[in-house]
Amino acid sequence: MDTTYSPDERDSTLMTAVAAGDGSAFERLYRLYERRVFQYVSTLVYDTTLAEDITGDAMMAVWKDAGTFSGTSRVSTWIFGIARHKALDAIRRTGRHQRDIGLEEAADLPASQDCPTDRVYRKQTAAVMQQGLSKLSREHQEVLRLVFYEELPYEEIAALLGIPVNTVKTRV
């Protein structure tokens, strides 16, 4: 019997359990998404502390609103949508400008299982990527993060950002 699940199946199973009030399922979902949401939000807001606050708020909204998840999109798309709305609300509320620095800066957080050579390689790769990405607009950086790091389909990115699919393709 095959007990392996795709990430989408795993996330959907966790979301169903979270919607039923399963705290341990939420803890697993939180661990899966906390870093990814933080990195995404960091591309939208100016400072790390604000990004941490928004990440916490977004994940609490996931817990509270899990029952409203309809399953018409990926769980990740739904969670990133919540995070995006929280980030945009925070930008409006605080009057902070959107981030104009590179996408890779937020992704340069070490994973607990990294060895030193992995960290060096990631830093070197990040530096090269930073150089190229820093020349892009925030809108382009946001789309690229969602496509290449979060692996969301163009259609879901378009829905999340409220832009046409062809605009997503053009930005990629």
pLDDT tens per residue across span 126-172? 677 767 776 788 888 888 888 877 888 899 889 888 999 999 989 88
CA-CA distance, 28 to 164, in Å (whole number)? Answer: 33
Specify burial of residue 142 (Cβ count, 10 A radius: 0-12, 13-18, 19+): buried
Residue 62's φ and ψ, nearest 5 degrees, are: -60, -45
CA-CA distance, 156 to 97, in Å (whole number)? Answer: 26
The pLDDT tens digits for 33-48 are 999 999 889 888 867 8
CA-CA distance, 157 to 62, in Å (whole number)? Answer: 19
Which percentage of the chain shows pLDDT scores above 70? 80
Predicted confidence at residue 82, as pLDDT, reads 94
Least confident of 1-5, 37-41, 63-67, 106-110: 106-110
Q: Model-level pTM?
A: 0.68
Residue with tokens 């950086």: 141
Whether residue 103 contacts residue 43, with contact meaning beta carbons closer than 8 Å, is answered with yes
Query: What single letter denotes the amino acid at residue 109?
Result: L
CA-CA distance, 34 to 147, in Å (whole number)? Answer: 18
Whether residue 105 contacts residue 48, with contact meaning beta carbons closer than 8 Å, is answered with no
3-state SS class at 172: coil
Query: What single letter denotes the amino acid at residue 132?
Result: G
CA-CA distance, 1 to 59, in Å (whole number)? Answer: 34
CA-CA distance, 169 to 58, in Å (whole number)? Answer: 27
Whether residue 47 contacts residue 96, with contact meaning beta carbons closer than 8 Å, is answered with yes
